[in-house]
Chains A and B, each alone.
Chain A
Amino acid sequence: MSAQSQKNLQQYVLRLADNALIIGQRLSEWCGHAPALEEDIATANTALDLIGQARNWFAYASELDTDGRSEDQLALLRDERDYLNVLLVEQPNGDYGNTLMRQFIFDIWHFYLLEGLTRSADATISAIAEKSIKEVNYHVSRSSDLIIRLGNGTEESHGKLQEALNNLWRYSGELTLSDALDDEMLALGIGADLSGVERKFQAAITRGFHEASLVAPKIGYMQRGGKTGVHSESMGRLLAEMQVMQRSHPNLTW
């Protein structure tokens, strides 16, 4: 593998790693604060699943790193512009309805993305995808169940979810937007086919919204930038909290 194609492969893996890490970090902010004990435990479980998946991706990204950076250095010591997660996952939790809506959109997309990656020509990527998709399958069924319940619940619960959807839908376009790196990885048989992912994602999420009596707003311009390191304003604060231990005590281990 040439140095450049190794670098590109690493960037692709870092996108996957950062998505899982950042949404895991966001979900873990609920630990001890969720509206019911059972929800608290379930949310923390999901966060742990995702951080566990992030670790697998980071371990691979570390193997591919030409500067020999470790898993921890990659996860916790890069600067904001070097994080390659989509904008959706860094959006603040807001109320619980907002968190559930973010999770619902993410889970459905995540599932079809991983499904595509199980067929990757890269054996490590397909193995990690294979392992992760079992957990994500459950995430989808859990978040769908809650969205359908609350969408058809009281006027208040329906209103909160619809408002969350109105706020978050503008970040859905980036999920399946293909750029040069995606095209290159697809051509090599390594990456997922995002147009296929988009078809399945749209069909599933439209069905979900319909069942939950929710309507996705018409968005003129979909936000984008996270995949190339251009983040929204809340990302800085998230990183400050996530990185403070490694920054103040370098090489700290548990």
Chain B
Amino acid sequence: MSQKNEWPLWEIFVRGQHGLAHRHVGSLHAADAEMALNNARDVYTRRNEGLSIWCVPAAAITASAPSEKGPLFEPSNSKVYRHPTFYDIPKEIGNM
């Protein structure tokens, strides 16, 4: 298959049996959304991983550039008080 005829790329998110949120599991090619769902079912949920699938066109994702890592994320490194590590979460709360 030549590059220019390739189906568009989709990013696949699956909510697992016990997961609370959809988690990115990988990507695949498909001609449209319906086919992306079918392919995602076959590629990513055959071992009973999923309860729900989201397919997002990869082109629709706006990503931060790796080169901006410093300006974007470093400032928060030194602000340890922003990290919620000083609390003991009671067991009864469960997942937060």
The closest CB in chain B to the CB of A39 belongs to B39
Q: Are B31 and A42 in contact (CB under 8 A)?
A: no
Q: Is B1 an interface residue (CB 8 A)?
A: yes
Interface residue A67 (Cβ < 8 Å from any Cβ of B): no
Q: Is the CB of A145 within 8 A of B1?
A: no
Known: A36-B7, A37-B29. A42 touches B42 (CB 8 A): yes
Name the interface residues of A13-54: CB closer than 8 Å to any CB of B: 35-38, 41-42, 45
Q: Does B46 contact A (CB under 8 A)?
A: yes
Q: How far is the CA of A138 from the CA of B1 in the complex (A)?
A: 27
| A119 on interface, CB distance cutoff 8 Å | no
A27 CB, min distance to chain B CBs, angstroms: 13
Given contacts A35-B1, A36-B1, contact A42 B39 (CB under 8 A): yes
**CB within 8 Å: A-B pair count:** 29
Instruction: Determine whether A142 belongs to the interface, using a CB cutoff of 8 Å to chain B.
Output: yes
Given the contacts A145-B34, A145-B35, A149-B35, A36 and B29 also touching, CB distance less than 8 Å: yes
Main SS of the interface on chain A? helix
* Residue total for B at the interface (Cβ-Cβ under 8 A): 14
CA distance A42 to B1 in the complex (A): 18
Question: Which residues of A sit under 8 angstroms from B25, Cβ to Cβ?
Answer: none
Is B30 in the interface zone, CB < 8 Å from A? yes
Alpha-carbon separation in the docked complex, A35 to B31 (Å): 14
Neighbouring B residues of A142 by C-beta, 8 Å: 38
Provide the bound-state CA to CA distance between A145 and B31, in Å.
Answer: 12
Check B43 for interface membership: any CB of A closer than 8 A: yes
Residues A38 and B34 in contact in the complex (CB < 8 Å), given A45-B42, A45-B46: no
Place the interface of chain A in its size category. Answer: 10 to 19
* Residues 18-40 of B at the A interface (beta carbon under 8 Å): 28-31, 34-35, 38-39
Is B1 a contact of A38 with CB atoms below 8 Å?
Answer: no
The answer to whether A145 and B42 have CB atoms under 8 Å apart is no
Give chain B residues whose Cβ lies under 8 Å from the Cβ of A141. Answer: 38
**Smallest distance from the beta carbon of B64 to chain A beta carbons, Å?**
28
| Complex-state Cα separation, A142 to B41, whole angstroms | 11
- Measured CA separation A145–B43 after assembly (Å): 17
User: Nearest CB to that of B41 among chain A residues?
Assistant: A138
Shortest Cβ distance from B32 into chain A, in angstroms?
9
Q: Which of A36, A37, A145 contacts B38 (CB 8 A)?
A: A145
Interface residues of B (CB under 8 A from A): 1, 7, 28-31, 34-35, 38-39, 41-43, 46
Q: List 5 A–B pairs whose Cβ atoms lie within 8 Å, in order of A's numbering.
A: A42-B39, A45-B42, A45-B46, A145-B34, A145-B38
Given contacts A138-B41, A141-B38, 15 further A-B contacts (CB under 8 A): A36-B7, A37-B28, A38-B28, A38-B30, A38-B39, A41-B43, A42-B39, A42-B42, A42-B43, A45-B42, A142-B38, A145-B34, A145-B35, A149-B31, A149-B35
Which 4 A-B pairs rank lowest in CB-CB distance, beginning with the nearest?
Answer: A42-B42, A38-B39, A45-B42, A41-B43
